[in-house]
Amino acid sequence: MNILTQLGMRIRYLRKQKGLSQLDLSLEAEVNKNYISDLERGRRNPSILLLEKICKALDIDLATLFKGIQSFE
């Protein structure tokens, strides 16, 4: 599984843990809902600035976001 897919799965997991919909997260992070959807599917390569916005919206730090994600490529 590639790193973008793992990241997307991690974002989806954390979003659901917080009880947020994709729309809720997109509004909090000030990003388009379709972008969140693509991100969770591993179809986007987000910038660190966007990941920072997502972390703020999820009330987590970057280390928590990347916990358990490994690159095997």
Domain ranges of the chain: 3-58
Summarize pLDDT for 50-61 with one digit per residue, the tens: 999 999 999 999
Label residues 43-55 b or e (16+ Cβ within 10 Å = b): ebebeeebbebbb
DSSP 8-state code for residue 61: -
Q: Does CATH number 2.60.120.10 belong to domain 3-58?
A: no
Which of the four pLDDT bands, split at 50, 70 and 90, describes residue 73? Answer: low
End-to-end Cα separation, the chain, in angstroms: 9
Whether 65 contacts 10, CB under 8 Å:
yes
Whether pLDDT at 36 is above 90: yes
Mean pLDDT, rounded, for 45-71: 95
Whether 35 contacts 57, CB under 8 Å:
no
